[in-house]
Every structure is written in structure tokens, then in C-alpha cells.
Structure 1
Amino acid sequence: MLLAICGFLMLFTILFLLFKSKTLPVVVFITIPVIAAFAAGFSIEEVVSFVEFGISKTSKMAVLFIFSVTFFGVMSDAGMFDGLVNKLVTKAGTNVVAVAIATAIIGIFSHLDGATVTTVLVTVPAMLPIYKKLNIRPHLLLMIVGCGMGVMNLLPWGGPVMREAIVLKMDAGDLWHILLPMQGAGIVATLALAVVMALKEKKFHGAGQVAVVEDAQGAVKLEEVDDEVLRLKRPHLAWVNLGVLLLMLIVLVIDVFPTYFVFMVGCCVALLINYPNMKEQKARMMAHAPAAIDVSSVMLAAGIMVGVLSKSGMLEAMAVPLLHVIPASIAQYLHIIMGIFAFPLGTMLGTDSYFYGLLPLAIEVGKNYQIPGLTMAIAMLVGKNLALLISPLVPATYLGIGLANVELKEHIRYSFLGLWIVGLVMLVFAFFIGIL
């Protein structure tokens, strides 16, 4: 009981401090979990083991973030995305809806490999300049990408489906065939969400109002660019830079080397090609260091929270009272209840803890009320998937907000309701076609 109380107090305190901006996220993620672990009665040796486990889970992601941010920063400085951005802006004009739909399509197709980090790295840096030029808040970009990613993560090689198949002791492909209609509905819902939110951005936040200026010859330009930015451009190397990026993406898909190592090498190549002078290389590294260090430090700090939650048994202890407070009169609808609250629960729980901790417990409780394990599993899958890119426990969340330069609390506030609604739409669709 003490373990559950400490776990709930820890999560509520962390969420309160984050949303109220009482202190830096780094401070919150480091101090509160450690205090909670000691309050629960764990020894120094045990707390150290929790910390080491958590850091081991996030350290590679922190390294990846440092070098991926620097890589895309250097490539952006050199103007690698300028041609793509200008073409898309020319085609779409000030059509915010067209840009949002394009983002959804890119997000959906880029997640075919099921790799969360790759999807974020492909979509956010490429689309962000377009959002800036059209005065669209980057929050929308993250929301659409997160939604497309969550829907496409229902593929059989996606982590959540594979975990659920293991729990259910069935083939992941067979499970996917059952989920396929829901995935189709989710793709449609993602496109609809993109349209609705784009119209909202246009109506209430002035999206699409591009500031235009004229050059000396009277030609219209999208924006004024200062001399320092122009000095860093390398238009003659644009195709070379795109070739480097394409080669890196191929290596990432083939999965020969660790993702962080690919970006470490890519960062070196980008610096050597575009800024061969050591003084320029140092200046580019220093220019992108604040963003890289700021978010990577939060990733490492979040690892402590992950370690305490995962290895202390707090999550399991917290799940038991949550499931047992449900009145017997509505227990037969437990799968519906869990499906509705899968999204907020998925936001607060890590993937392994959710599928290997909470899900088996919910299935066992459901069996007492004649709810099949498969039904419970399907109901709980969709919401968790859609919470993928707003969960503070998912490293890719920090990668996304870091690349888009959006605060975590603002990202969650903006995306939470829209993503939850998409999950509920998919759940209702599954109910009407008989999957649930």
C-alpha cells in the first residue's frame, strides 16, 4: 500500500510542478522520484540500481538527440531544406490545410518501419521551416506527426502490437489482421484532425499570413534573411547534403548500426563537407549546443523517473487499487472503461510497464466478468499508441519537442484532447463493426 501511495504522490507532484512551471523539468525528474523511492523504504543501494537502470534506458537517446539536433541544425544552416520548403510553399501558397494534410501523409508513410525516432527525425526538421514561413505554430506539426505515428504503430512489427501479441500468446500478424479496420479508421481520423486543427490555427492564430518583402529588383520574397544566415548557406552543396541524408536514412532502415552512431558520423560528415574550416565547425557546434544540451539533459533526468517506476514495483502496486475500486455493477464494461482511459493511462505509463504490467492485470480482472483477453487487449491498445509522442516517459517525445523548440507542457496541452478524441473515434468504430 505504501508503494502505491508513494507512486501516486510522485506522479501527481511531477505533473503539478511541470504544468505549473514551478521549476525546471530536470530538477523535477531527478529529485521527486529519488525522494519517493526513499520514502517507500528502499535502501541507498536499491535506489542507485533504479537510477542506473533508468539512465541506461535513456543515455543512448540523449546522445542521439545531441548529434541529431546538431546534424539537422548544420544542414539547415547550409540550406539543405530550402529547395523543398520553397517548392511546397509555392504549391500550397498560404493553404494551411494543404500543409497539414501533407504533414499527416508524410507522418503516416514515414512510420511504416515502426521506428519512432526515425519518424520524428524525418518529419519534424523537414516540415518545421514550412510551418515557420506560414506562421503555423509547431505544436500542430507535433500533434499531426504524433497522431499518424500512433495509428501506424498498429503494424505487426510495431512495438506495442508485438508486446500485446506476447501477452496474448498469439501471432502478431494475426492480431494485426483484426486491428486492420481500426487502423484504416485511424488514418481517416488523422487526416480529419489535421484539417480541423489547421482551420483552427488559421482562424484563431493567423496561420497562413506570410510576411512578404521585395528585393532590389522588385521580386517578391517570403521573408527577409540577414547577411549572417546567407553567409552560412551552401546552395551548391544542396544535392550533396541531400545525398548524405538519404544514405543515412537507408542505413537507419537497414539497421546495421545504432541510430545514435549513424548521427554521430553524419554530424561529422555534415561539418566537414559544409564548413571545412575548424573555426567554422566550432561556431556551428556552439550555435546548436544550447538546444542539444537542454533537452538531452531532460532525457537523462527522465531516465531516473523511468528507473524508479519500472524497477521499484510502484507501477504494479498503483495498478491494483485502480482496478479494484471499480464497482461490480459496471465491471462487465471494464474493457470499455479501460479503452476510454487508455490514452491518459498511456501518457503516464511507460510502454513495457503498460503492456507487461497493467495489461495482464486488467485481462485477469476482466476474465472474472467474462471479458475475453483479446477484447481487453484491443481496447487498451489504441489509446496507448496515440499517447506515444506526448508521454513524458517516451524519449522520442523529448526529441520531437526539442527539434520543434516547444515546451513539454505546451505540447501536452495542445495535443492531449485532439489525440484522445481520435482514439475514442477508433474505439467507437471498433465497437460498431464488432471488433469489441
Structure 2
Amino acid sequence: MLAILGFSMVFVFMFLIMTRRMSALIALMLIPSLFAVLSGFGSEIGDMILEGVKELAPTGIMLLFAILYFGIMIDAGLFDPVVNKILKVVKGDPLKIVIGTAILVIIVSLDGDGTTTYMITISAMLPLYTKLKMNPLILTGITMLGGGVMNITPWGGPTARAMSALKLDTSQIFVPLIPAMIGGIAFVIFVAYLLGRKERKRLGVIDFKYLSKEQEVAFAEQAATVESVSYKRPRLLWINFLLTITLLVLLIMDIMPLPALFMIAFSIAIMINYPNLEAQKERISSHASNVLAVVSLVFAAGIFTGILSGTKMVDAMANSLVSLVPDALGPHLPVITALTSMPFTFFMSNDAYYFGVLPIIAEAATNYGIDPVEIGRASLIGQPVHLLSPLVPSTYLLVGMAKVDFGQHQRFTLKWAIATAIVMLIISIIVGVISL
């Protein structure tokens, strides 16, 4: 009975958010509470909710200050010189332009926000593609591939969801996947090289001077970069760069918990760049909506996972699932999870997959002696394909800004997205973070 109720809860949750009848935030709180009552655990709901929220508190804190930190870095103009340099170097060579697009996307994607990445990249690079009559599908395809790989950063969304659903931390899921991410980045640049070379063969190299006025117009359209030039801090560029590099190095070395790292880094960053209290309040307020959307989702997930675990529904569901898995395939669940994460995250939202499906797979894997952390890592491999899903709102922004057809964009990018995910899976197996 618990298994039936558990699967029913996941189905209702997924149906409501995929059909847009209820937001993920509300569904994460109301649906499990309703099913807990139906399961006879009404008197224990409070304790289960608090336990779930308590376990996810560090993840929520980390995301809050990570978003604020990278928001401050973008406001201060940390990435502006990179954009400028790329525009100057690529000039009229289609090959350099496509590779420059890939590099720009990878750098800008560090803030973990797909909308910001798309706005900056398309605004900066579309004038070049238009001027040289290059295929805009290459621009949207490379932008999405790079964003798909970088979306695995802990503050990007799916990793936070996986950590929340499985009650794991960054050092367990994200850090071991860094080699796979590096491999994914290298493959995206390689794809950019192939597509750029094809465009160079078709169009040739056009010798022209990119007008500085036109470049200024492109930058003016980058609403995501900074709302006013008064917030830029070009004199603090190297200080901000060193601070960011130090933060990333400490993250990899696992010197201290990630929430503490980002809290300290954010405090230093905002004091250095905006010592005035009013300016600090204004900068924090400008990022408040993004912070609230992400962090509230994490704490709402605490209710879902807390009730799923507290009622023992997840155990019953896992046992039922295990009985359906042939014994010969059981030990290969990490690889199966990685491969199926591509269609799963394409046909359903990240919320539905990571909060509804992943915990069940992870619990089932424990019956074969597989650590849930491996399932968590494997579940992230399909992210390059996920961003092609019609369920991802930011994708419509991407194709809209580039003025390309959504279906054409999907057909053009899908094979490269699948190839990127396969490359990341192979590297994960080679380095041993996902077992074969």
C-alpha cells in the first residue's frame, strides 16, 4: 500500500507540474502533505517536514550566497573584458567566431543562470553572425551545449536538486564530476571547431573592422550583465578575478563547507565593490527574485523528501522497483541512470525527475550495493539534452533572441547534445566516479 501511495504521489506531482496546473514550489509542499495524511501519518507531518528542511538547509544557504556572489561579479563587470577580447579576436573568421561563442558561453555560464547566459551571449555574438550571414542555428546550438555542461555547477539547478533529493553535499556529487565537465567543455569546443570550419569553408574569411559603435549597441542590449554602467568596477577587475579563482580553488580542495565559502566570498566581494550601504542594498535587491525562486524551491523540496523518507514510502517504492529490474541489469544501474537521464529530463522537468524519480532509483540501487551518490552523479549526465526540452522556459528566450525556429534548433542540436552527454559518461567511467 505504501508503494502504491508513493508512486501515486510522484505521478500526481509530476502530472501537476508538467501540465502547469501547479507550480513546482506549491506542489512540493502540498502534494506530499496530502498523501501523508492519506497514508495515516497526519500527526507526524510536522516532524517529518522539519527534518527534511533541516537536512537541506546547507544546500539552500550555499545557493543563496552563490547566486549573490556571481551576481555581484557580473554587476562589477568581471566578464566584460573577456567579451570584449573575444569580439576583437574573432573578427571576420567564422571558425574563430564559433569557437569564441563556445568560450564565451562557458565563462558566462559560471553564474549558473541560463537566462543570463543566453542574453549576454546572443546579444554579444548575434551581430557578428548576422553581419557574416552565418547560420544562427550554430549560435543557438553551441550556446545551449556549453550551457548544458556548465549547468552541472552546484548553483546551476540540477545538481542542487540532486543533492537535495539524496541528502548529499557538493563534495560528494559535483567535485568528482569536474573531470567529466572538463571533458564536456573540450568536446563542445571541438564541436564548435567542426561547425566553424564548415562555415569558414562556406563563407570564407571576411576582412572587416567590427564597428565599436555597433559593439556598444550589442553591450547595451545585455540587460543581464549590469543595469547601469555606474555599477561596473573596472579598476577592481584583477581583485575580483583573484577572489573568484581563490574561491574555485578552495571549492575543489574542499577546505571548508561550501555554504561557508560562499558566505565569506560574497561578504568580501560586496564590501570591496560596493562599500556604500545603499549600493549594497540595491545590488542585493536586484538579485532577490532569482535567489528567492531557487532557495524557496530547495526548502520546499525538504517537505517532499522529508515526507517521502519519514513515511517509508521511498523504501516501499524502491523494493517494488527492484523486483522489476532483472538481476543482470541491477549492478549496471549507474550507467543505465546516466543514459536514461537524457530522455527522462527531456520529457519531464528537472523538478519532476530529481524530486520524483531519482530518490526511487537511488534507493533501488542500494539493494545492489551501489552508493546513492553514484546514482546522483549519473543523473546529471543528461543535462546537455535536458536544455532542448520544450519544458525549459529559457530555451524560448534563446531561440527568440536569435530568431530561429524552435523545432529546427532541436533537430540541429540534438545529436551534438547526446554526443556531449556520452563523452561525459565515458570520462566519468574512466575516472571511476560512475561504475560500469
For 1:195, the aligned partner's letter is: V
Q: Determine whether 1:223 maps to 2:214.
A: no
Structure 1 unaligned runs (5+)? 108-118, 151-156, 163-175, 177-182, 204-211, 364-372, 392-399
Percent identity among equivalent residues?
A: 23
TM-superposed CA distance for 1:158, in Å, is 6.8
TM-score, L = length of structure 2: 0.62
Corresponding residue for residue 166 of structure 2: none
Corresponding residue for residue 299 of structure 1: 298
TM-superposed CA distance for 1:161, in Å, is 12
TM-superposed CA distance for 1:230, in Å, is 1.7
TM-superposed CA distance for 1:79, in Å, is 0.9
What is the distance in 1 between the residues matched to 2:31 and 2:83? 43
For 1:257, the aligned partner's letter is: M
Q: Deviations over 1:200-248 (max 9, x none)?
A: 9x99xxxxxxxx9955xx6754615289622222212211221222333
Distance 1:131 1:265, change over 3 A: farther
Distance 1:3 1:420, change over 3 A: farther
Corresponding residue for residue 98 of structure 1: 99
Corresponding residue for residue 242 of structure 1: 241
For 2:124, the aligned partner's letter is: K
Corresponding residue for residue 144 of structure 1: 149
What is the distance in 2 between the residues matched to 1:189 and 1:42? 47
What is the distance in 2 between the residues matched to 1:37 and 1:26? 18
Mapping 1:43-192, distance limit 5 Å: 43-45=42-44, 47-92=45-90, 97-99=98-100, 102=103, 129-130=120-121, 132-134=123-125, 139-146=144-151, 159=172, 187=183, 191=187
What is the distance in 1 between the residues matched to 2:416 and 2:278? 46
Find the residue that maps to 2:220 and give its secondary structure.
Answer: coil
TM-superposed CA distance for 1:306, in Å, is 1.8
What is the distance in 1 between the residues matched to 2:115 and 2:215? 25
Corresponding residue for residue 285 of structure 2: 286
Distance 1:334 1:49, change over 3 A: same
TM-superposed CA distance for 1:102, in Å, is 4.3
Distance 1:261 1:198, change over 3 A: farther
TM-superposed CA distance for 1:49, in Å, is 2.5
Distance 1:304 1:387, change over 3 A: farther
TM-superposed CA distance for 1:281, in Å, is 1.7
Q: Deviations over 1:322-370 (max 9, x none)?
A: 33346xxx76556568854553489746799568621132x3xxxxxxx
Distance 1:139 1:189, change over 3 A: closer
What is the distance in 2 between the residues matched to 1:26 and 1:280? 31
Distance 1:98 1:257, change over 3 A: same
Find the residue that maps to 2:218 and give its secondary structure.
Answer: coil
Find the residue that maps to 2:6 and give its secondary structure.
Answer: helix
What is the distance in 2 between the residues matched to 1:388 and 1:378? 17
Corresponding residue for residue 8 of structure 2: 9
**Would you say how many aligned residue pairs link Structure 1 and Structure 2?**
356
Distance 1:25 1:139, change over 3 A: farther
1:386 to 363, 381, 393: 381
Structure 2 unaligned runs (5+)? 127-138, 159-169, 200-208, 387-391, 399-405, 430-434
What is the distance in 1 between the residues matched to 2:60 and 2:372? 32
Find the residue that maps to 1:319 and give its secondary structure.
Answer: helix
Distance 1:272 1:101, change over 3 A: closer
What is the distance in 2 between the residues matched to 1:160 and 1:248? 18
TM-score, L = length of structure 1: 0.62
Q: Deviations over 1:386-412 (max 9, x none)?
A: 258999xxxxxxxx999xx99xxx9xx
Corresponding residue for residue 256 of structure 2: 257
For 1:143, the aligned partner's letter is: G
Corresponding residue for residue 25 of structure 2: 26
Corresponding residue for residue 191 of structure 2: 195
- Equivalent pair of 2:69/2:262 in contact (CA under 8 Å): yes
What is the distance in 2 between the residues matched to 1:245 and 1:187? 22
Distance 1:133 1:230, change over 3 A: same
